Amino acid sequence: MPSLIETRSGKRRAIPVEMVDASSIPTLEARLTAADRQWMVSTNFRPNPGAVLLLPDTHGVIERVLVGVDPSEPIMALGALPYRLPEGTYEIAKESIPADPDLVALGWALGAYRFDRYRSRGRAPAQLLVDSATLRSLQPIIDATYQVRDLVNTPTEDMGPEHLAEAIRAHATTHKAKVREWVGDELLTANFPTIHAVGRASHRAPRLIELTWGKNSNPKLVIIGKGVCFDTGGLDIKPSDGMRWMKKDMGGAAHAIALAGLIMQAKLPVRLTLLVPAVENAISGNAMRPGEVIRTRAGMTVEVDNTDAEGRLVLCDAIAFAVEQAPDLIVDFATLTGAARVALGPEVPALFTNRDQLADHVIGAAEVSADPLWRLPLWRPYRRMLDSYIADFANSGASRHAGAITAALYLERFVPENQNWMHLDTYSWNDGDTPAHPRGGEAQGLRAFYRFLSERYA
Active site members: 238, 312
Calpha distance 83→77 (Å, rounded): 14
SS3 173: helix
- Provide the CA 19 distance to its chain's centre, in angstroms: 28
| Dihedral Cα 38, 40, 46, 48, nearest 10 deg | -160
Calpha distance 9→208 (Å, rounded): 50
SS3 141: helix
Calpha distance 216→258 (Å, rounded): 22
End-to-end CA distance of the chain: 33
CB 312 within 8 A of CB 336: yes
CB 202 within 8 A of CB 310: no
What region, left, alpha or beta, does residue 209 occupy, with left being phi > 0 and alpha being psi -120 to 50 degrees? beta
Three state DSSP letters for 262-309: HHHHHCCCCEEEEEEEEEEECCCCCCCCCCCEEECCCCCEEECCCCCC
Amino acid at 317: D
Least Cα distance to 264 among 121, 453, 80, 111 occurs for 453
Could you tell me the CA-to-CA distances from 216 to 87, 220, 256, 269, 272 in Å, in that order? 49, 8, 21, 10, 9
**CB burial class (10 A; 0-12, 13-18, 19+) of residue 108?**
buried
Least Cα distance to 367 among 434, 432, 441, 455 occurs for 455
Sheet holding 4-6, edge to edge: 4-6, 127-130, 89-92, 15-20, 62-68, 52-56
CA angle, residues 428, 122, 257, in degrees to nearest 5: 30
SS3 407: helix
Could you tell me the CA-to-CA distances from 367 to 103, 273, 449 in Å, in that order? 12, 27, 11
